[in-house]
């Protein structure tokens, strides 16, 4: 989409509160100490950053959007990256306090931050908790030194264990990331690793299949992930084992104990509204009957109801519960049955890739293995 400059006149004030659409704020910190060879997200490798200057810009952007959305209630705040754990805790606290000043916030608001296991900042995790973070997502990625090195991580296994202990001591709500389907990784090796991950006792686990994305270092070096059949076995084992051990899958790559789903990520997957603050951040806003795609910095483009509907299908099918038909209509104003291709839907049902109830449309376990096909068929 081609964006245009946003000003105070282009984004209309909200005249009423739409209770069917929730609201969150994403804060992007693009800076990293090194670039992981599998990463295709926007990031900048920079060790000396004028943090105070950048945070001042973030505060100004929050002020700008607060004038337009100040009647909304903030459900969640998410610090992502990049490596947001590099931000000084006192500046994180400043951002959190500013949001509380500009918006009403839910009493039990979820405030998440992504962190790496290694840090030169003493007492990092306790300081983050003191700053107002109440959910910590730890990017471990592998549980052996060989694969950590292969993945370009700047921490070793000993540092990962130390960080895991500190996170569990300082937070009641926590998550850990791992990457599977690494080159030459065996199913038995992954089984051992995931069993260890469960033993730690995190409330939430994110298990991402390694994909070699164009433009990454791995792509340029022609690195190949695990064979498709092996990756499939790993995925199916992950679902079964985590289900049996109290972590039912709720999204393609995410598993959680009861009550510990990522509330912020659910905003994306369920079609709710969110602001994006910082480089490469994006947002979605519904105001009245209009939809806006927001990008950095203070840019927007009005998108059509059909474009928003397609986004809802892309994101909603990632969820085990699938697309809530009533919510779909409340968000985009289109009946799901009138938007999707009925002939292709029938075929997908016959292939047992899609199931439908009176209230939801969702992918089966087999369907979630071929999500791109489902999306293409339904939206064609």
* Three-state SS sequence of 308-340: HHHHHHHHHCCECCCEEHHHHHHHHCCCHHHHC
**Could you tell me the pLDDT band of residue 38, with boundaries at 50, 70 and 90?**
confident
Domain boundaries, the chain: 4-266, 305-380
- Of the chain, the percentage scoring pLDDT greater than 90 comes to 83
Compute φ and ψ for 273, nearest 5 degrees.
-95, 150
Work out the average pLDDT over 45-69. Answer: 93
**Could you tell me the pLDDT band of residue 102, with boundaries at 50, 70 and 90?**
very high
Per-residue pLDDT for 72 more than 70?
A: yes
| Cβ-contact 180, 190 below 8 angstroms | yes
Mean pLDDT of the chain: 92
Tell me which CATH code domain 4-266 carries: 3.20.20.70
pLDDT in tens, 132-166: 999 999 999 999 999 999 999 999 999 999 999 99
Work out the average pLDDT over 218-238. Answer: 93
**Could you tell me the pLDDT band of residue 118, with boundaries at 50, 70 and 90?**
confident
Fold of the CATH domain 305-380: Arc Repressor Mutant, subunit A (1.10.10)
Helix, strand, or coil (residue 135): strand
pLDDT in tens, 9-34: 344 444 333 447 899 999 999 998 88
What is the model's pLDDT at position 13?
44
Per-residue pLDDT for 45 more than 90?
A: no
Helix, strand, or coil (residue 91): helix
Work out the average pLDDT over 115-123. Answer: 84
Work out the average pLDDT over 114-134. Answer: 92
What is the model's pLDDT at position 19?
41
Q: Which helix (H) or strand (E) holds 158?
A: helix 157-170
User: What is the model's pTM?
Assistant: 0.92
Among 337, 315, 317, residue whose Cα is nearest residue 326: 337
| Cβ-contact 85, 115 below 8 angstroms | yes
Between 287 and 186, name the one with better pLDDT.
186
What is the model's pLDDT at position 120?
67
Q: How do 135-141 and 174-180 pair as beta strands?
A: parallel
- Of the chain, the percentage scoring pLDDT greater than 70 comes to 94
Compute φ and ψ for 37, nearest 5 degrees.
-70, -15
Strand order through the sheet with 323-324? 323-324, 360-363, 354-356
Helix, strand, or coil (residue 96): helix
Helix, strand, or coil (residue 36): coil
Between 163 and 215, name the one with better pLDDT.
163
List own/partner pairs for 229-233 with CB under 8 A and 24 or more apart.
Answer: 230/181, 230/185, 230/186, 230/187, 231/180, 231/181, 232/369, 233/187
């Amino acid at each position: 989409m081609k964006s245009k400059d946003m000003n105070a006149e282009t984004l209309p004030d909200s005249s009423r509160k739409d209770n069917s659409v929730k609201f969150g704020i994403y804060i992007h910190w693009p800076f990293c100490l090194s670039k992981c060879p599998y990463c295709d997200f926007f990031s900048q490798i920079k060790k000396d950053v004028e943090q105070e200057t950048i945070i001042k810009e973030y505060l100004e952007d929050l002020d700008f959007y607060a004038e337009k959305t100040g009647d909304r209630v903030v459900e969640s705040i998410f610090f992502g990256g990049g490596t947001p754990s590099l931000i000084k805790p006192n500046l994180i606290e400043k951002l959190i306090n500013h949001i509380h000043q500009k918006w009403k916030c839910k009493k039990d608001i979820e405030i998440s931050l992504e962190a790496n296991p290694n840090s030169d900042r003493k007492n990092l995790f306790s300081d983050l908790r003191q700053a107002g973070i109440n959910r910590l997502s730890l990017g471990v990625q592998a549980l052996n030194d060989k694969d950590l090195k292969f993945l370009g991580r700047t921490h070793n296994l000993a540092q990962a264990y130390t960080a895991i202990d500190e996170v569990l001591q300082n937070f009641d709500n926590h998550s850990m990331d791992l990457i599977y389907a690494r080159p030459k990784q065996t199913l038995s090796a992954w089984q051992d690793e995931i069993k260890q991950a469960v033993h730690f006792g995190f409330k939430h686990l994110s298990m991402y299949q390694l994909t070699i994305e164009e433009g990454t270092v791995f792509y340029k070096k022609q690195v190949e992930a695990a064979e498709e059949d092996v990756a499939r076995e790993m995925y199916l084992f992950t679902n079964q084992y985590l289900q049996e051990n109290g972590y039912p899958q709720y999204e393609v790559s995410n598993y959680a104990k009861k009550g510990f789903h990522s509330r912020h990520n659910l905003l994306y997957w369920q079609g709710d509204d969110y602001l994006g603050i910082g480089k490469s951040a994006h947002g979605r806003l519904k105001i009245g009957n209009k939809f806006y795609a927001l990008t950095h910095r203070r840019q927007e483009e009005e998108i059509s109801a059909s474009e928003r509907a397609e986004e809802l299908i892309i994101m909603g099918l990632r969820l085990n519960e699938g697309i809530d038909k009533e919510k779909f209509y409340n968000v985009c104003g289109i009946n799901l049955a009138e938007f999707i291709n009925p002939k292709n839907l029938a075929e997908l049902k016959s292939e047992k890739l899609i199931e439908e109830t009176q209230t939801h449309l969702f992918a089966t376990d087999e369907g979630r293995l071929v999500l791109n096909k489902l999306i293409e068929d339904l939206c064609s």
